Amino acid sequence: MSARCAAIVLAAGAGTRMSSDLPKPLHPVAGRAMVLRLLDTLAAADAGPVIVVIGHEADRVRKEVRSGAPQPERLIFATQPQQLGTGDAARVGLDALGEVPEASDVLVLPGDTPLLRPETLTRIVAIRRRDGAAASLLTARLDDPTGYGRIVRSDSGITIVEQRDASPAESQIDEINAGVYCFDLAQLRHVLPQLRPTNAASEYYLTDAIDLLARSGQSIAAMTLNDPSEAMGVNDAAQLAACEAVLAARPSPS
């Protein structure tokens, strides 16, 4: 990146479906905690400062991340007292970020996406800057999109509909939201206070920020992954094993 981009990593969840006493961000993928794999990727993309939003077993996660992160001096930890959704977590992270004069944009991404590549993050930032968009986001096309938010494209732009809120027609869409965004920092500060928990989960969805920006006339850019495996998240032991298999099959960096 030619100019520094800040980042907010959402790593506050308990991960109850993991059926483990280990906090979700600390589950290892090929021997390294998945949140640390993501921080490796952010370091390789030269992102910083990096806000890590923690919640469940916050002290344990903070200690492990601080001791294992590649650039601990770039890390700032922020605690989300209650897990009220990705929009609330982003707000907690943004409050901790404060004013960063050298950063005009911020990546927001989940801590359970260990397969992202540095060049992917570099590209999504470059696309937002090139297009002058309020935000850019990653999408992927999946044979089975079950569980993911769907990308709904129309003449008025892009919106994201979560699985539990999707209509039968929207549920048939195979283009999914990877949960990785690059926001213009000022636009994100403007839109987050407008989020409301008016959805089936009664949570603050970060995806609603995209919808609000689009409805206000702001442009949203989308980048579709060539390798959809990069969008893989980890919510249970089966997905953890799937991520390990993908990582094992990747060629080693030259």
Gap between the Cα atoms of 187 and 220, Å rounded: 12
The residue assigned the tokens 């995806």 is 207
Closest to 108 (Cα-Cα) out of 11, 248, 214: 11
CB 23, CB 68: distance < 8 Å: no
Helix residue spans in the chain (DSSP H):
34-44, 58-68, 86-97, 118-131, 168-171, 185-191, 207-215, 237-249
Gap between the Cα atoms of 182 and 163, Å rounded: 22
First-to-last CA distance in the chain? Answer: 21
Active site residue 17: yes
Give me the catalytic one of 4, 17, 62, 117. 17
Give catalytic residues, as residue numbers. Answer: 17
